[in-house]
Chains A and B, each alone.
Chain A
């Protein structure tokens, strides 16, 4: 699986949009971009995934650049409960594929 690079930490004001970047310059054509988050030491929580088109769900939006070498996760209105470590993971198709978690970005939402 391709490697990803994320900033180690970011702050965001409550109510503002949080934009979390991820670089995955070695991504291959059949690899998806997944985002998970981990609040304190709870189990990772799925947020969103995409292949090449932008995606939106009730939690977040995912913007993937045209060359697919980077992506941005957007939390449109961050709340204190969004404080967590956010992981960008690149994974091949197929449900049995393992997820390789990196160090992620520690997002702190400030009041």
Chain B
């Protein structure tokens, strides 16, 4: 069964450092998303991406965050200067979209980001 894969599974970084989280969405999917979940809290939407541009973003997704699809398979989330409060589990997701208005989103297993 196709799946969304995320690397690394766990990343530790120092405050102020840049970090890139990587995702390989399901190959025929056209919509890509990032969500995050701070420990013990709700899963929060960050951004959606379609046709090489951001479709929607939440208030959390400020100038410190950026997304990119650098090639035909990867989808990345960059945090420019990490803060302690960026420590969370980051989930990538993808959905099929075109031709089917209500398709489910498939989530990866997440990257646990720890900022120290």
A interface list, Cβ under 8 A from B? 32, 34, 38, 41-46, 49, 87, 93-103
Shortest Cβ-Cβ A-B pairs, 3 listed: A43-B107, A95-B97, A46-B104
Main secondary structure of the interface of A (DSSP, over half): loop
B87 at the interface (CB under 8 A from A): no
Of the candidates A32, A44, A102, the one whose C-beta lies within 8 Å of that of B102 is A32
Distance in Å: Cβ of A5 to nearest Cβ of chain B: 14
B109 at the interface (CB under 8 A from A): yes
* 9 new A-B contacts at CB < 8 Å, known A42-B110, A98-B45, A101-B43: A41-B89, A43-B108, A43-B110, A44-B43, A44-B105, A46-B105, A95-B31, A95-B97, A95-B101
Contacts A98-B58, A103-B42 given; indicate if A41 touches B104 (C-beta within 8 A).
no
Contacts A43-B91, A43-B109 given; indicate if A94 touches B101 (C-beta within 8 A).
yes
CA distance A87 to B105 in the complex (A): 14
- Listed A/B pairs (28) with beta-carbon separation below 8 Å: A34-B104, A42-B109, A43-B108, A43-B110, A44-B43, A44-B91, A45-B107, A46-B104, A46-B106, A49-B104, A93-B101, A94-B102, A95-B30, A95-B31, A95-B96, A95-B100, A95-B102, A95-B103, A96-B48, A96-B50, A96-B55, A96-B56, A97-B56, A98-B33, A99-B43, A99-B45, A99-B105, A101-B43
